[in-house]
Amino acid sequence: MKGSDFLQSSHRLRKSGLNPGGSYWFWYLLPALFIYTVFMAYPMLDSVRLSLYAGTTGARDYVGLANYTRLFTDPVVSARFWGAFKNTWVFFAYHMLVQNVLGMLFAVILTNRTMRGRQFYQTIIFIPTTIAVMVSGYLFRLLLNPQFAGPSLRSMGLGALVRPWLGQEGTALHVVSLVSVWQWVGIPTMMFVAGLQGVSEDLLEAADIEGCNSWQTFIYIKLPLIMPVVGMIAILTFVSNFNAFDIVYSMTGPNGPPKYATDLIGSLFYRYGVAGEHPIGIPEPGVGAAISTTVFAILLVGVLPTLKATQGKE
């Protein structure tokens, strides 16, 4: 409907003279198009080309797929890559299963019209989302350090809680993931709230009259209707998790300690492409570009089918 209004109005405008051909409008969008192309679109595409080269700007050689071969099969490099790859999936699983499920649960509660204090809870849930990951990550790094509250907790009989949570290979990644969930759960919550508010009241009333309980109403009415929002959140989660870096950098460090247990694709990319991987310490832009191109491919493979499955034609 919006579209036909628009066509009609642009038709009228054309007659009145505000709407001549493109060359006239082109000047209005040229500055934006220029900056977007030069500093985003082109560098993204050209990173793919860079993954086929070795060396830096001055002395760069075409090496074909050598960077990829190194990334996937070299005993040291591939161990790092597959390790970070696996960790990123664990990290992603936490966000899908804990963050997004909690977000959905919170949203159902926050859209219940007879519930009091919704605005208050909503405001609190969203607070961590406005704090920089660098800040909240560092905060939890200190709070979880046994030096911080170890003696106090022991004297309270809670000595079992005093563990080097971020120093043990078995717990570090899980703790990092949960802190990230703490930080970001506000986003899916608010998006689901917006989606659920769009569900027609008549429909819910009809379900109530038919005797649906709240679980049935959720599964058979609300959930199918907000599928596009679910898909959008899945995509957002996927894209941001495969680029996550700040949380590792602030909570454990760019090397993903202990023993690479918290190394994510994002931190691996930072070390190989930008900072230099231990022990050589010289960045390899080609390998970095190969990592980012791989992420690019993973995102495309994950995002496009999700888009297709959940974003119905309008």
Partner 1 sequence: MNTNRSHKAKSLRIARLHIPSHVLMILWSLVVLIPVYLLISNALKTKMDMYNSPFGPPIPLTFDNFQSVMASGNFFNYFANSLFVVGLSLFMILLLGSLTGYALAHWAGKLSRGIYFFFMIGMMLPIKIATIRLMELMKALGLFNQLWSIILIYIAMGLPIAVFILTEFIRGLPADLYEAAYIDGARRGKIYYSIVLPLIKPALATVAIYNLVPIWNDLWFPLIFITQEEKKTVLLAVTRLQGQYTTDWPKVFALLTLSALPVVLLYLGMSKQFVAGLTAGAVKG
Restricting to residues 232-261, which ones interact with partner 1 according to CB under 8 A?
232-233, 235-236, 239-240, 243, 245-246, 249-250
Least Å from the CB of residue 302 to partner 1 = 11
Least Å from the CB of residue 53 to partner 1 = 10
- β-partners of residue 198 are none
CB 101 within 8 A of CB 184: no
Least Å from the CB of residue 12 to partner 1 = 6
Least Å from the CB of residue 135 to partner 1 = 5
Task: Answer whether the bond into residue 258 is a cis peptide, omega within 30°.
Answer: yes
Angstrom distance (rounded) from CA 73 to CA 298: 18
What do you get for the CA distance between the two ends of the chain, in Å?
Answer: 11
* Residue 136 identity (one-letter amino acid): S
- Specify the 3-state DSSP secondary structure of 176: helix
- β-partners of residue 62 are 53
Is 2 a binder of partner 1 (CB under 8 A)? Answer: yes
Angstrom distance (rounded) from CA 275 to CA 285: 10
Residues 6+ apart with CB under 8 A from 290: 51, 67, 68, 70, 71
**Considering all CA atoms of the chain, what is the largest pairwise distance in Å, rounded to the nearest integer?**
82
Nearer to partner 1, 260 or 296 (CB): 296
Beta strands, E only, the chain: 53-54, 61-62
Is 148 a binder of partner 1 (CB under 8 A)? Answer: yes
Is 310 a binder of partner 1 (CB under 8 A)? Answer: no
Which of 7, 79, 97, 101 is close enough to bind partner 1 by CB under 8 A?
7
Is 299 a binder of partner 1 (CB under 8 A)? Answer: yes
Site residues for partner 1, 108-137, by CB under 8 A, read 109, 112, 114-117, 121-136
Nearer to partner 1, 81 or 106 (CB): 106
Angstrom distance (rounded) from CA 124 to CA 109: 14
Site residues for partner 1, 177-236, by CB under 8 A, read 182, 187, 190-191, 194-195, 229, 232-233, 235-236
Angstrom distance (rounded) from CA 110 to CA 103: 10
Which of 19, 69, 78, 310 is close enough to bind partner 1 by CB under 8 A?
19
Which of 90, 96, 98, 139 is close enough to bind partner 1 by CB under 8 A?
139
User: Strand 61-62 to strand 53-54: parallel, antiparallel, or no bridges (unpaired)?
Assistant: antiparallel
Is 105 a binder of partner 1 (CB under 8 A)? Answer: yes
Is 151 a binder of partner 1 (CB under 8 A)? Answer: yes
| Plot region of 188 (φ>0 → left; ψ -120 to 50 → alpha; else → beta) | alpha
Is 82 a binder of partner 1 (CB under 8 A)? Answer: no
Write the binding mask 33 to 72 for partner 1: x where contact by CB under 8 A, - elsewhere: x-xx-xxxxxxx-xx--x-----xx---------------
Is 89 a binder of partner 1 (CB under 8 A)? Answer: no
Nearer to partner 1, 17 or 279 (CB): 17
